[in-house]
Amino acid sequence: MFKKIRIALLLFVLVLVAAGSWLQHRRLTDWDEPLWIVVYPIAGDQTETTRTHIERLDNASFAAIETFMLGQAKDYRKHLSRAVKVIVGPQLDAMPPEPPYNGSVLSVMAWSLRLRYWAWTHESDALLGDISLFVIYHDPERSPSVPHSLGIKEGGIGVVHAFAGRDMTASNNVVITHEMLHTLGATDKYDLHNDQPLFPDGYADPQRQPLHPQERAEIMAGRIPLAPGDAVIPRSLQQVVVGPATAAEIGW
């Protein structure tokens, strides 16, 4: 009986949260005003490389995201003078709750609520952003690969794993933008089994003849298709576009 009551209470809370999330999503994707994105840096390790990189972060570190979003938006929403504004929030010492990999539906729902509560308790009262991105930086010498990043539409929250180092800033911005667009409702456009872009929505230029090699990546596919079964990660947002399917999902 206690278990049934607990599940019923959880479902009731989820219904309330879903209603609030729907209203928030409608507001974020009407594009009447620029969206304010707050990036909260978090050290994923205690190395000097990571510490120094975070100390050097400023708003200019993410200016490429603003330029990219405005340039892409004008292909769909020509009236915009600015799509997003990205600002750096205070560094956080706490880690967000880890997602339950291969968990049940209820455990994923419970984790989503915990993440939203965690974000609410760690967001800066002085920075009222529309979307909060918690970016965890890792020293590439210590961590040649990083955990999977995620962005959730419910609450406008992203947890991004990135590499510390100035030479990684451009590629980090691709990942940050990808997860930011998830918070606006954009879906992945790559095969979850092999990370290959899906045709046609995962191709920047699906009408290209011959189809391969592509020159750019679709942002939600995350890779540039060079040949069937062969794709590479873009080095910067200059090699990325927002395709029509993604644009429709985020209200462009």
Domain boundary among 159, 185, 211: 185
114 and 201 share one domain = no
In a domain, 156, yes or no: yes
In a domain, 44, yes or no: yes
In a domain, 149, yes or no: yes
pLDDT at residue 89, rounded to an integer: 97
Domain boundary among 185, 208, 236: 185
Q: What is the CATH number of the domain that holds 44?
A: 3.40.390
Matching residue, tokens 């890779």: 223
247 and 218 share one domain = yes
pLDDT at residue 17, rounded to an integer: 56
176 and 87 share one domain = yes
In a domain, 16, yes or no: no
pLDDT at residue 102, rounded to an integer: 74
Distance between CA atoms of residues 140 and 150, nearest Å = 20
* Distance in angstroms between the alpha carbons of the first and the last residue of the chain: 47
Phi and psi at residue 140, in whole multiples of 5°?
-65, -25
Could you give the residue ranges of the DSSP H alpha helices within the chain? 2-28, 48-56, 63-73, 105-122, 169-183, 244-249
pLDDT at residue 108, rounded to an integer: 81
Structure tokens given for 228? 């069937």
DSSP assignment of 132-180, as one string? EEEEEEE-TTT-SS-PPPEEETTTTEEEEEEE-SGGGHHHHHHHHHHHH
Q: What share of the chain is helix, strand, coil (3-state, %, to 5)?
A: 40, 20, 45
152 and 224 share one domain = no
In a domain, 12, yes or no: no
Residue 139: how many CB atoms within 10 A of its CB?
20
Q: Which residues contact 194 (CB under 8 A, 6 or more apart)?
A: 229
In a domain, 172, yes or no: yes
In a domain, 15, yes or no: no
Residue type, 151: G
pLDDT at residue 154, rounded to an integer: 81
In a domain, 223, yes or no: yes
Residue 240's domain spans which residues?
188-252
Cβ(185)–Cβ(250) below 8 Å: yes
140 and 194 share one domain = no
pLDDT at residue 5, rounded to an integer: 72
171 and 212 share one domain = no
pLDDT at residue 93, rounded to an integer: 96
37 and 151 share one domain = yes
Domain boundary among 132, 150, 185: 185
In sign, the C-alpha dihedral spanning 202, 208, 209, 214 is negative
Burial of 120 (0-12, 13-18, 19+ CB in 10 A): exposed
- The number of distinct structural domains making up the chain is 2
Q: What global pTM score does this model have? A: 0.89
50 and 164 share one domain = yes
Per-residue pLDDT of the chain (252 residues; tens, 9 = 90+): 666 676 677 666 656 555 556 556 666 788 989 999 999 999 999 999 999 999 999 999 999 999 999 999 998 977 888 999 999 999 999 999 998 877 777 788 888 889 999 999 999 988 889 999 999 999 999 999 999 999 998 889 999 999 999 999 999 999 999 999 999 999 999 999 999 999 999 999 999 999 999 999 999 999 999 999 999 999 999 999 999 999 999 999
pLDDT at residue 11, rounded to an integer: 65
